[in-house]
Structure 1
């Protein structure tokens, strides 16, 4: 069977949408943690609005879709990239994209140890390298190179690294040192350069969310009011931008993760936060919109649609020139 017939391509508004390869933590994990021994497993009522059926979790830490799900559907994709560890993620399934993200994971291998098993970024990239070999065996070297060159690579990770170090940070200078080290791990020394060597050319990298705004941090440090101003502005369309929808205890529902003992708010569309750490689909919809069509206030140096339209873009100041990418 020819590669041209095997590969699914969807044309929306003149844009050809590609295979998605996703790395990261619980913000983009779609079920890998179901296959490892970990406390970081999104049990029901996570996925309550996803549509998998009554009391069936989606593998996602939210009530429904995550940002990559929303963007993929907006661009015409019919299938969400499946979790790498799922036994069905083999053969031709790999051609539609794969999700390697693991809840609790970080840039550093030690991040998330308290959760038990998790797939560090280094191991996620190692799994991708294996996938690359499997795809090459399936469709041939040249077709595989083309597929991987045109794919979109999404990397959302780092918040857990900051969380794990938050208790030892006693000054802004120490925090700057930690962040500088994490940035170094991501760029020239490791992840970006490895992905580039493996064929990645279009990379979308998520910045860390305002950590001081989430219900977990508010409850941990007893914060009643106040947040990053930009985050407050984006949250104004919601009735509640402070409290978790799926909660057990805590002034903001930020003490215990969403689980089978949690109470769930009746109208998820009015809440920003789904649980102590993650957002509702309604909030993710806004994020996805800005990624797709936003200006430089939200993505730099281009938005998602512009990245798809201009596959030959070379970013001034990027880690590796002749490479396209977005940082948001």
Structure 2
């Protein structure tokens, strides 16, 4: 007996629904978690536990839209790490290394080591007190987390064997310019921007090779943002298009080296895959054409920022200060860091975009399936 067209379509739809649901559930089943290294853009609250550090976001209005309130994230809600974790179907938020409760089974889905104000260079961030440099972050991963992860996985599987199932996310470098190079070198002429950048990216390359030697195989490298467009530079001249171009040139130069590193370093890291996420372009595109992406304010901080006359640095929100009502329409939450709405945009592009000038050479979704 022949099936009716209507019945055939119903059966086809049911099959497709079942297939797509199963495919979606298992889409990133091979990714167990993330190990995260970097600065404030990816810090989930490590600096909360540091003594004598001024680089903290553990107070309102930070976290005003985060489920548990202020958490140490330098934004109103979720950061890029939280959002990528959701897209990878990870069962929980990535815990911070500095939290004493981050041990045992809590490390099975990864650990976040990022520290606000830190940099690739060991001395970056010293002006704000205690921060955890990228070098220190990797040491903590090697000396503390890896042995414990091996114990959690049992004797049948080594921690090194399981690490290809984790993403290694690195987002560092901006502070090396803002709080190091531009504070020390331009007036002294001791080193050029080009030589400083080359040294910085060479050092980052060494750190990536170290993570590779420890078992890392899937890497996500997040570019520097257009730091010259952030509210903290407001009032500084000369500016063009609302941005301080000398800072943007530095970020663009670093990003060019970082993207080239994705290809150049592979000969030293066989079997690895690196993905470059161009958050610089993603944010710059929003600033140039905000209406198309639902933004309205591309230059002002959403929160009341502590000015230098108030003892602040023009970056952090004033403790308990005013905050804008339409946060999803603002690009920047404080004097430097983007809002959750921008983080959503970056995470979506990182995960789904096929434009190689946004994510190169493949997107994070494709990386997760390898």
Instruction: Kindly indicate whether residue 179 of structure 2 is the aligned counterpart of residue 179 of structure 1.
Output: no
Note the alpha carbon deviations across 1:221-257, whole angstroms, 9 max, x for none.
Answer: 474743479544323131001110012366xx98251
Distance 1:18 1:140 in 2: 16
Q: Say which one has the larger Rg.
A: 2
Q: 1:308 to 1:289 in 2, by over 3 A?
A: same
Instruction: Kindly indicate whether residue 205 of structure 2 is the aligned counterpart of residue 192 of structure 1.
Output: no
Q: What is the aligned counterpart of 2:242 among 194, 216, 226?
A: 226
Instruction: Kindly indicate whether residue 338 of structure 2 is the aligned counterpart of residue 279 of structure 1.
Output: yes
Instruction: Kindly indicate whether residue 125 of structure 2 is the aligned counterpart of residue 112 of structure 1.
Output: yes
Q: 1:300 to 1:256 in 2, by over 3 A?
A: closer
Cα displacement (A) at 1:11: 6.0
**What is the match of residue 241 of structure 1?**
298
Question: Does the residue aligned with 1:160 lie in a helix, a strand or coil?
Answer: helix
**What is the match of residue 323 of structure 1?**
none
Count the aligned residue pairs: 293
Cα displacement (A) at 1:275: 0.4
Cα displacement (A) at 1:140: 3.0
**What is the match of residue 61 of structure 2?**
45
Question: Does the residue aligned with 1:243 lie in a helix, a strand or coil?
Answer: strand
Cα displacement (A) at 1:21: 0.4
Structure 1: give runs of 5+ residues left out of the alignment: 1-9, 311-328
Instruction: Kindly indicate whether residue 40 of structure 2 is the aligned counterpart of residue 26 of structure 1.
Output: yes
Q: 1:144 to 1:249 in 2, by over 3 A?
A: closer
Matched-pair contact (CA < 8 Å) for 1:215–1:243: yes
Question: Does the residue aligned with 1:184 lie in a helix, a strand or coil?
Answer: helix
Matched-pair contact (CA < 8 Å) for 2:33–2:90: no
Give the root-mean-square deviation of aligned CA atoms: 2.3
Note the alpha carbon deviations across 1:21-73, whole angstroms, 9 max, x for none.
Answer: 00010001111111112000102210010011xxx412100000001111111
**What is the match of residue 83 of structure 2?**
70
Give TM-score, length-normalised by structure 1. 0.83
Distance 1:15 1:91 in 2: 23
Matched-pair contact (CA < 8 Å) for 1:246–1:275: yes
Matched-pair contact (CA < 8 Å) for 2:96–2:113: yes
Instruction: Kindly indicate whether residue 317 of structure 2 is the aligned counterpart of residue 301 of structure 1.
Output: no
